[in-house]
Structure 1
């Protein structure tokens, strides 16, 4: 733990006179020196556009850029780099599927199934697609602990269902969903499954072939990589039949005055100069995560969640949302402290150098389901320790005492 923590320069600082305790990795993770060095090296030595040039810098940049694509392919066990599309992140990935696949394949009366726990990025594209096409938007009901049962899945998906879009791990509840089983049920009804893996890819192994998902998106900045870069995985046959949603340089094969043709996969979906440094940095982040091991990261986070739940439940008036079983959730805990608004709580904790998230977490329908307007969230990663949780619990107790005195 100490050796890993040393790889993250930003963590070695004080905030408001206290050592930084960073518990907001679900929003964005910190970046190890290995990633920072690789991005700096690109700008220092190799800065050039990719694919277009034949000079040395262009060739080096292209090799690193496409080399990172292969690392992503291996990271999620896709069959080919043709199935890996660079995007700005999970939001762009999901919108690409909704626009590129959804508009071609969803008709009036068809069903699109999602869940109440979806991030807005995996809700609004389907909501708008349903409105545009006259399709029916349906939701999986949640159990009291914020999980989805396979009985619910079977009862909700029908032969009219064309798309099932679901998060692999909730950014609020922490719930880890049974993606493989949901995919199987969706396919039995002729539907495709689209997976939001923003909160899963940084924390647990993903094998898209074993899961048999049709599309899957994730973001680099949540998994130790740069911001503004992510990836969309899609089965080759589906991607080949989709039209691009952005047109311009890089993605064209031949342009005439009145017609154009597109490059082959994956480049037909990558119009314009890409985020080259971001892609190379994401490749370095994958190297870093692979070296540590996703299984070890998941094990460490389960231990932290178990410890945090045990300690936080000792605080009177504190409510934790989502599964209580640490093995059923990813490395985050969303909670409320009775009588204290989450934003006030986050502000007080920040004065003690503790960074958490407060608000609706881009999941307003889920807040409505929870019957709250906002929550606080502490999220953990490989560089966090039980001492960080002790600091959080101490800060929560101090905040409770402070607001009790004030009010």
Structure 2
């Protein structure tokens, strides 16, 4: 593999290479727990779907139990890992932020920040990094600087220590990630497009939107979304805002648990990798019973367990709603952001009608594509499509800035 380790000379921070190895006693404990922990029976109502179904659940548990951790660590370390100190501009806390990166040596390379969702990890983007290195085997040909951070409190990134309420979590994380990109030399006024492009999915869209809306360093937003959003808007024929609210209400029911219930659930889930698998697996809504996507979901869960991620990160799991209906409507209609901040969306049908029902949008300030498939696992089982869409969207962004 070509070297993608040339950190730009404009970087203000001092990222250092990061290595890790999971201790054998913890690996043995994980395997033992998986062997002894039984699976529950499906409820009589049989309302469980996708990755909550017993067959999927059993397959994922068995994959985790049989992991060859020498091979899994080799996969995790296939790309350069770094840590860097990032000072939170509110409170002054110095955080260790972990990220995986492919640095291009092309002077025209555009920085792209890939944000994982609250239930996932940087691991979900390893498939995309593989596609990038296969398509661009030389660092000088890579059109992007690809940055994949672990959110604060996830995997190898330290958690925010200051008190924060539920409404602030996205804003806090966005602030830290923006400062990371600035420290790497990708802030406003840098070469190329004068900043960076942010990419996320259904469950990280709110954070991406916060970055695009609040920070001049973020110059454009791209996301993989459920075709239901676009399909509802284009077929409603009425109030688009109300249509968006109905979609959100169906996909993300209102949270009504009190803090005691949340803390009890957090305690229960954090005591077992099987419980963690039930929570994280259910969020992917995958129907795959075998295959690469299933294996990667199992690896994400095991990685969380090995790094004790869930106790630090779980606060987000019960309070993040992807975004408000009003903000989502702004994203879909390409409003609410500065005119020179383009929005690109890759719609996936996900059982909400044919992908042909989703009208593509390509104009001077917005871009979209459409695909059949599941947006929750698109970067896992359709990485080529996401990379292709990112390339197409960023080319248009570059044209606007040329």
**Both proteins in one fold, TM over 0.5:** no
Specify the structure having the higher radius of gyration (Cα): 1
